[in-house]
Chains A and B, each alone.
Chain A
């Protein structure tokens, strides 16, 4: 047994990752996705939120050929393989950008701000980028 395992039953905390940036213009979106995939290996209660320009990360049919950057949008499909199944998108953010749930690359739960706020309030750790 390792020293950090001596405290008895494993503690599961609720981790929420809040994505608020558009992809490609800055590195935040890609970095946060990598953090989520790493964190998913630790068997915690993980949820991922897309709000503000973060909803643009999930727009389907991204084609980065002409800008010479890596298209990482398909990696969001891997979240399911990592058992990250709580994926929330704020309804208001989608609407402000002329997007709908059908525009997104993966199945998500679209929530109004007050519902999303309730879930956020229940978290032990919230990491925003």
Chain B
């Protein structure tokens, strides 16, 4: 099976892209939270459980510049989420066979 990178750029509180992604993404694939998607990465937020429930099956990443832009550097991320920069974003796209943007 091909490895897939799922890109979530919408707030989980505004759109159901993350919900559907977490429902459909197969074990072994990766999820990158970026732009307004970074709100899903906050351990104090109400989406922490939905993300944590698939931690281990999926690899989660969050785009650091979008976290900083939103003033969230002082807010703890969900355990196990890796922070990447734009270079890391490019690496993820290259490392996975397919990238899917959930719009």
Tell me what chain B mostly uses at the interface: helix, strand, loop, or mixed: loop
* Chain B residues whose CB sits within 8 angstroms of the CB of A96 once the complex forms: 13, 45-46
A-B contacts, CB under 8 A, total: 78
Asked if A63 and B14 make an inter-chain contact with CB atoms under 8 angstroms apart, the answer reads: no
Say how far B103's CB is from chain A's closest CB, in angstroms.
Answer: 12
Residue of A nearest to B65 (CB): A66
Inter-chain CA distance A59–B42, complex, in Å, is 13
Which one of B36, B69, B85 lies within 8 Å of A63 (CB-CB)? B69
Tell me what chain A mostly uses at the interface: helix, strand, loop, or mixed: loop
Asked if A53 and B64 make an inter-chain contact with CB atoms under 8 angstroms apart, the answer reads: no
Asked if A66 and B64 make an inter-chain contact with CB atoms under 8 angstroms apart, the answer reads: yes
Q: Does B60 contact A (CB under 8 A)?
A: no
Q: Which segment of A3-11, A21-29, A33-41, A82-90 sits at the interface?
A: A21-29
* Chain B residues whose CB sits within 8 angstroms of the CB of A64 once the complex forms: 68-69
Q: A53-B13, A97-B13, A97-B42 are in contact. Are A67 and B66 (CB under 8 A)?
A: yes
Interface size band for B: 20 to 34
Which one of A25, A65, A98 lies within 8 Å of B44 (CB-CB)? A98
Inter-chain CA distance A96–B71, complex, in Å, is 17
Asked if A97 and B68 make an inter-chain contact with CB atoms under 8 angstroms apart, the answer reads: no
Asked if B45 and A62 make an inter-chain contact with CB atoms under 8 angstroms apart, the answer reads: no
Chain A stretch 52-82: residues in CB contact (< 8 A) with chain B: 52-53, 56, 59-67, 69, 71, 73
Inter-chain CA distance A96–B48, complex, in Å, is 10
Q: Does B72 contact A (CB under 8 A)?
A: yes
Which one of B39, B65, B68 lies within 8 Å of A56 (CB-CB)? B39
Q: Can you identify 19 A-B contacts, CB atoms within 8 angstroms?
A: A21-B14, A22-B14, A24-B35, A24-B70, A53-B14, A59-B71, A61-B71, A61-B73, A62-B68, A62-B70, A64-B68, A69-B69, A96-B45, A97-B13, A97-B42, A97-B46, A98-B43, A98-B48, A103-B71
A-B contacts besides A63-B69, A66-B65, 20 pairs, CB < 8 Å: A21-B14, A22-B11, A24-B70, A25-B9, A25-B10, A25-B35, A56-B70, A61-B74, A62-B68, A62-B69, A62-B70, A62-B71, A65-B68, A66-B64, A67-B66, A67-B68, A69-B69, A73-B71, A97-B42, A98-B45
